[in-house]
Amino acid sequence: MDEPTIRRRIDDDLPGCVAALATVQAADRYPVDWPADPAGWLTPAGLVEAWVAVDGDEVLGHLALTRPGAELAATLGLPERQLLAVARLFVGTAARRRGVAVRLLDQAVLIAGAEGLTPVLEVEEGAEAAVRLYERARWRHAGTSTADWTTADGRTARLRAYVAPVEAGLSSRPS
């Protein structure tokens, strides 16, 4: 496969995004419960823009950028107006181990930086592969909070909040 292209998501990408998300949900239980409207789930409230990683017409991965909620800002101890949140980030199971997620994270850093914003995200602490990805990509764990939902195994979710590396492109450099 060629190097994937990272570009803005268009409406025609949504069926491919949903198909890739279905592989992730089956493998990782993300999202915990399959949404009644998966295309709508990929377009959350507060969406600023969405990006996809594609190989030709095939959607490999997805990234949404949203306005963060007050709770995430409070967990991080940063002003909400200075943040841009990564959401709905996933890579279909067939496209993993190709650097797609890191490239999408780098895109978030570039977009936020161009707007003078700090990219942030939160992840359920039981999502160990995602936690490893963010930490390998040099995102800094900056706080933990308790969510109002339960995980697939019935635990109350604990969310780890992360702040992006300061320098754009840093996450794709080898450790």
Domains of the chain: 5-172 (3.40.630.30)
The count of C-alpha atoms lying within 13 angstroms of the C-alpha of 173, restricted to the half-sphere facing its C-beta, is 8
pTM of the model as a whole: 0.90
- Per-residue pLDDT tens for 52-96? 999 999 999 999 999 999 999 999 999 999 999 999 999 999 999
Q: Sorting pLDDT into bands at 50, 70 and 90, what band is 1? A: low
**Residue entry with tokens 């109350």:** 156
Q: What is the mean pLDDT of residues 30-53?
A: 96
